[in-house]
Chain A
Amino acid sequence: MTSTTPDGLAGAEATAGDDLLLPELVAHLREHRTQLRREWANRITDESLLSAMTPQEVFTEATSVYDNYVGVLETGSVEALQDYARDLSERIIPRGVETNEVVGIVLLLRDVLARSLFEKYHDDFGLLNRVLDAYEPAANRIANTVAVSFVEERERVIRQQADAIRELSTPVLQVRERLLILPIIGVLDDQRADQLTEQLLGGIRRHRAKVVVIDITGVPEITAEVANHLVQAVDASRLMGAGVIITGLSPEIAQTLVTIGVDLTKMNTVGDLQGGLEEAERLLGFRVTRASDEDG
């Protein structure tokens, strides 16, 4: 027998007979499965929830959620539902389903079922009360479980993506002996700028670099804090004996830097990556010539 019946909460009327209420309720929900499920799916469509999914998909998901829901009411075990909710979240998060939609549909199902219980028992008010006493805590726990699973899954996805970005974001590449390039793509925030400094200095030490070209062609915008981070990274590199050339400052970034008054006079900047590499090669004493020129 389940333990979902609240002990003592139903007051003096709570009897051994209440233990049978939940099974009875489950039987009722099973019996009217088709009709209640359709009603629920309609409510979902009416409220334009799950708009990212087709009506067919909504119906399929609604069916399995319904069955799981009733199953939990019957067994009182939310574990199976937890697994299902996690699995469901994994499928629908990439489709752009929002938290409010997921919570919304579970609450709708709770309401649809409560309404149907009301219809069935409205003649006997005392009995209805006891049925709802049995139903509500279980239903709320289900809503809670689904919402929490969804949010947890979302957070897991976000964490995973943040890790992926962190790993991908700042490659340090050696192009020639003692010459490194750091191509930076995407928005630089404080955290990434910190990481950039770390990678830059680690790279200088590891590759015994003398010149580093940081290419920010792929950076759309820059804030004063991040610009200062960059200046600091350049200063720190100099302390380690390496010169830094910054290339690919877009007109917007150049304008921002001048407007916010970041002092870039100490920085060696060259228009594009090619120019930066040529300058670096010059500093290192390389001379690149075409093989044909050499022959002739």
Chain B
Amino acid sequence: MADREVPAEPLRVSILSQGSYLIASIHTALDDGQLLRFQRDLIERIGSQRARGVVIDVAALDVLDSFGSRTLRDIARMSRLRGAETVIVGIAPELAVSMVRLGLQLEMPTALDLEEGLAYLRAMTGTAMLP
């Protein structure tokens, strides 16, 4: 891997599989390189897990810059090309206000929290959650 990541670094993003959905939680602010790695990993996982939907939980983020929001948008587009719907959940009020002030457009579905995001995906993809 070309990434020069310190091995002992704590996990910043976790990607869990839940039935035919992937749940990606961003735990701390990511720099540009980490974001791109996250994007690559996630798109990869969609294929290997045959996921129909992706929930990206950003509840832990208090800032998101233009690169961050563009990356999220790109993830959504790539996911769709690979057959999965993407929904962003957990945008905090402060983050929402700052994004709007900065004129950042996500142009992708958003939902209040994980539960809502999964409900949205179920409605969109028509897939029942596997037991």
Contact = CB atoms under 8 A, between A and B. Distances in A.
B91 A239 contact: yes
Interface in A221-252: 232-233, 235-242
A201 interface: yes
A202 B93 CA distance: 7
A237 B112 contact: no
A208 B113 CA distance: 9
A172 to B, nearest CB: 12
Interface string B42-54: 0000000000000
A205 interface: yes
A235 B95 CA distance: 12
Contacts of A240: 91, 93, 96, 110, 112
A205 B111 CA distance: 11
B116 A201 contact: no
Contact of A235 (B89, B92, B100, B112): B100
Contacts of A235: 96, 100
Contact of A236 (B88, B97, B112): B97
B97 A241 contact: no
A201 B97 CA distance: 9
Which of B88, B91, B106, B112 gathers most chain A CB within 10 Å? B112
A180 to B, nearest CB: 12
Contacts of B99: 236, 239
A214 interface: no
A206 to B, nearest CB: 10
- Which secondary structure characterizes the binding site on chain A? helix
Given A198-B93, A204-B112, A205-B93, A239 B101 contact: no
Contacts of B95: 239
B100 to A, nearest CB: 4
Contact of B111 (A197, A201, A237, A241): A241
B110 A239 contact: yes
B24 to A, nearest CB: 17
Contacts of A238: 110
A121 B71 CA distance: 89
Nearest to B87: A241
Nearest to B95: A239
B21 to A, nearest CB: 17
A242 B97 contact: no
A199 to B, nearest CB: 10
Interface string B94-131: 01110111000010001111001000000000000000
A198 B116 CA distance: 22
Contacts of A210: 112, 116
A167 B116 CA distance: 31
Contacts of B100: 232-233, 235-236, 239
Contacts of A241: 89, 91, 110-113, 116
Given A208-B112, A241-B112, A232 B91 contact: no
Given A205-B92, A210-B112, A239-B91, 12 more contacts: A198-B93, A201-B93, A201-B96, A232-B97, A233-B100, A235-B96, A236-B99, A238-B110, A240-B110, A240-B112, A241-B111, A241-B112
Interface of A: 197-198, 201-202, 204-205, 208, 210, 232-233, 235-242
Interface of B: 88-89, 91-93, 95-97, 99-101, 106, 110-113, 116
11 contacts: A198-B97, A201-B96, A202-B93, A208-B113, A232-B100, A235-B100, A236-B93, A236-B100, A239-B91, A239-B110, A241-B112
